[in-house]
């Protein structure tokens, strides 16, 4: 059975890695820009919140499958993902273009 509950430790590490990306890397927030970066093959990792509408989630996953980009389902809703990015608004999906100093690309895409 798939681990239904992600441990607190890995969740914090994703948040730490995201914070490092926000500080040192390049990213875009939001559905329209996520699709744009996937289309022009700039995206390296796509993170989707857990309350993303299922049609939009499948669409982003399909695009990412075509482009062979990793998708990470964040363990939190769009409010939490926005907070994790250090923003004061909700973020449903985001795309990391350049991770900067973070190792989020190397350590994350294993888990879906």
Partner 1 sequence: MVKFLKPGKAVLLLQGRYAGRKAVIVRNFDDGTRDRPYGHCLVAGIKKYPSKVIRKDNTKKTAKKSRVKAFVKVVNYRHLMPTRYTLDVDLKDVVTVDTLQSKDKKVTASKETKKRLEERFKTGKNRWFFTKLRF
Q: Which stretch binds partner 1 (CB under 8 A): 4-12, 14-22, 49-57, 67-75?
A: 67-75
79 is an interface residue for partner 1 by CB under 8 A: no
Q: Which of 21, 69, 85, 93 binds partner 1 (CB under 8 A)?
A: 69
Where b means 16+ CB within 10 Å and e means fewer, 48-87 reads bbeebeeeebeebbebbeeeebbbbbbbbebebbbebbee
Task: Count CA atoms closer than 13 A to 33's CA, side-chain side.
Answer: 13
Taking CB under 8 A as the rule, does residue 66 contact partner 1?
yes
43 lies in the site for partner 1, by CB under 8 A? yes
Residues that bind partner 1 (CB under 8 A): 35, 39-41, 43-44, 59, 63, 65-69
């Amino acid at each position: 059975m798939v681990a239904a509950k992600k441990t607190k430790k890995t969740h914090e590490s994703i948040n730490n890695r995201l914070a490092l990306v926000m500080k040192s890397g390049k990213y875009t927030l939001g559905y329209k820009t996520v699709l744009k970066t996937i289309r022009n093959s700039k995206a390296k990792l796509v993170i989707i919140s857990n309350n993303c509408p299922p049609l939009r989630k499948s669409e982003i996953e399909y695009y990412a499958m075509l482009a062979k980009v990793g998708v990470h389902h964040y363990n939190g809703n769009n409010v939490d993902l926005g907070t994790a990015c250090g923003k004061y608004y909700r973020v449903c999906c985001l795309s990391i273009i350049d991770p900067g100093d973070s190792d989020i690309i190397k350590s994350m895409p294993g888990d879906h």
